[in-house]
């Protein structure tokens, strides 16, 4: 197959006004609000946190995540090393497979993400009391 496919900024912005995450590309099993572009190999999407948000701690056994902070600020905690990485607009980062982590983002944070391979292997991790406190402390 050859060609050029496009999803307009207007459509993406419209969806992100009501949803905090939208996949644009992938081999997706879960229906999306916006029609995505099918791809067997990679997933691409946007997260837009209009208010402070803490994601559930999790791990990917097969997937490596590639992300870039487009706007705002986020912190990601490696649950093996307990190191917090502080991320600002323009920062690019990778979460290697087999890395358990927790992440929280300030209000008005927009993140572009890529996941390879395109499989849903996310496993939520039980949070300790200490981790729960870290997650609910706003940034």
Task: Find tokens 């997706």 and name the residue.
Answer: 28
Q: What is the pTM of this model?
A: 0.93
Q: Are 75 and 104 in contact (CB under 8 A)?
A: yes
Residue 76 and residue 117: Cα distance in Å, rounded? 21
Nearest in space to 44 (alpha carbons), one of 138, 111, 133, 104: 111
Terminal CA-CA length for the chain: 45
Write down the domain spans for the chain. Answer: 9-136
Maximum pairwise Cα distance, the chain = 51
Name the CATH topology of 9-136: Jelly Rolls (2.60.120)
In tens digits, what is the pLDDT along the chain, a chain of 139 residues?
A: 579 999 999 999 999 999 999 999 999 888 889 989 999 999 999 999 999 999 999 999 999 999 999 999 999 999 999 999 999 999 999 999 999 999 999 999 999 999 999 999 999 999 999 999 999 999 9
């Amino acid at each position: 197959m050859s060609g050029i496919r496009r999803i307009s900024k207007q459509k993406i912005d419209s969806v992100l006004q009501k949803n905090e995450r939208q996949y644009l590309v992938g081999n997706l099993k879960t229906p999306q609000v916006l029609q995505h572009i099918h791809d067997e190999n990679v997933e691409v999407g946007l997260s837009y946190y209009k208010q402070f948000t803490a994601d559930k701690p999790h791990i990917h056994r097969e997937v490596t995540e590639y992300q870039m902070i487009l706007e705002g600020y986020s912190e990601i905690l490696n649950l093996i090393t307990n190191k917090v990485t502080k991320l600002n607009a323009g920062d690019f980062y990778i979460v290697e497979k087999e890395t358990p982590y927790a992440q929280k983002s300030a209000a008005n944070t927009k993140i572009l993400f890529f996941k390879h391979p395109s499989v849903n292997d996310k496993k939520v991790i039980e949070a300790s009391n200490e981790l729960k406190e870290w997650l609910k402390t706003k940034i």
